[in-house]
Amino acid sequence: MSTTPTAPLEHRDDAEPTTVRTSLDAGVATVRIDRPEAFNALDTATKQALLAALTQVSNDPQVRVVVLTGTGRSFCAGEDLRSHAKALLSGAQTLADTIDAHYNPIATVLATMDKPVIAAINGIAAGAGVAFALAADFRIMVAEGGMNLAFAGIALSCDSGASFWLPRIVGMAKAKEILLLPRTLPAPECAALGLVTTVVPATEFDAAVAQLAGTLAAGPTLAYGAMRRALAYSATHTLEESLANERALMDRTGRTADHLAAVNAFVAKQPMVFTGS
């Protein structure tokens, strides 16, 4: 992930404080949770900003791939418990309220947007932060990073798709262990369990994210999106239903400019160039 300054997706008053920053460089949109003093925990303003940013990049035709990351030593610590305590004691908001308004929509847009998503896990991910990372297609973790499904530690169930993704990656028995007996899983264990795609040293982290993002940004974006949808659909449908869904998605991608260009390039023995259309 390049440290070179990138262009903002939208004009913003620099005096306006924000806890989520979005930039676009060569088709790669980086959405960064920027509350390092709070380990990128999610208060209401940050949840609202994160949902807005992810929705924006999901709908932006200039964006070919999305990178979700954090600032500092944490990827995302999940719910901001100080903010939550105030809301709980005042009765201003229940957990169901913020799940409906924030967590479920964030998890949904991460998992279903029509372009690939990379979670660049720059440190510890906890709670909903882990679930958001699991919703991505690729997870690159810094060697000092880790994951903690910390819900049971504060007497809560799990949210943001944790119950959906976790058993599909590690199996039901291991998912129960991770959820019911929460601890921080270090990066090597995350890799061994398949929770992350790769683990890299801090000195190589930005470059590894940038390389993968660049590869995906140069690929057939709409085909990637269709594959995401096909896999998600097949997880909860029969073979017959999945075959019908695959047919519809193949028909859709078969009509794209990228497919026509790729076939012509193959016949002409020329390099394939994808535009994401």
Residue 252 inside a domain? The answer is: yes
Domain's final residue, options 217, 237, 254: 217
DSSP, res 137: S
Same domain for 150 and 180, yes or no, is yes
Query: Chain-centre distance of CA 185, in angstroms?
Result: 19
Same domain for 132 and 239, yes or no, is no
Total domains, the chain: 2
Same domain for 91 and 213, yes or no, is yes
All residues at 6 or more sequence positions from 229 whose CB lies less than 8 Å from its CB, including other chains: 112, 114, 245, 249
Same domain for 260 and 161, yes or no, is no
Scanning the structure block, which residue is given the tokens 């940004």? 217
The parent domain of residue 232 ranges over 221-268
Residue 276 inside a domain? The answer is: no
pLDDT of the residue at 2: 35
Query: Chain-centre distance of CA 62, in angstroms?
Result: 18
Q: Which residues of 138-156 are buried (b: 16+ CB within 10 A; e: fewer)?
A: bbbbbbebbbbbbbeeeee
Residue 149 inside a domain? The answer is: yes
What whole-number distance in Å separates Cα of residue 56 and Cα of residue 60?
Answer: 6
DSSP, res 27: T
Same domain for 172 and 259, yes or no, is no
Please list the pLDDT of the chain residue by residue as tens digits (277 residues): 333 334 455 534 444 569 999 999 999 999 999 999 999 999 999 999 999 999 999 999 999 999 999 999 999 999 998 877 777 667 766 788 999 999 999 999 999 999 999 999 999 999 999 999 999 999 999 999 999 999 999 999 999 999 999 999 999 999 999 999 999 999 999 999 999 999 999 999 999 999 999 999 999 999 999 999 999 999 999 999 999 999 999 999 999 999 999 999 999 999 999 998 9
Same domain for 203 and 252, yes or no, is no
Same domain for 92 and 172, yes or no, is yes
Same domain for 227 and 113, yes or no, is no
DSSP, res 99: I
All residues at 6 or more sequence positions from 208 whose CB lies less than 8 Å from its CB, including other chains: 140, 198, 200
Residue 1 inside a domain? The answer is: no
Q: DSSP letters of the chain?
A: ---S--EESS---TTS--SEEEEEETTEEEEEE--GGGTT-B-HHHHHHHHHHHHHHHH-TT-SEEEEEESTTEEE--B-HHHHHHHHHHTS--HHHHIIIIIHHHHHHHHHSSS-EEEEE-SEEETHHHHHHHTSSEEEEETT-EEE-GGGGGT----TTHHHHHHHHH-HHHHHHHHHS--PEEHHHHHHHTSSSEEE-HHHHHHHHHHHHHHHHTS-HHHHHHHHHHHHHHTTS-HHHHHHHHHHHHHHHHTSHHHHHHHHHHHHT--------
Residue 134 inside a domain? The answer is: yes
Same domain for 247 and 125, yes or no, is no
Tell me if the pTM is above 0.85.
yes
Same domain for 89 and 151, yes or no, is yes
Residue 275 inside a domain? The answer is: no
What whole-number distance in Å separates Cα of residue 46 and Cα of residue 19?
Answer: 6
Same domain for 209 and 232, yes or no, is no
Residue 248 inside a domain? The answer is: yes
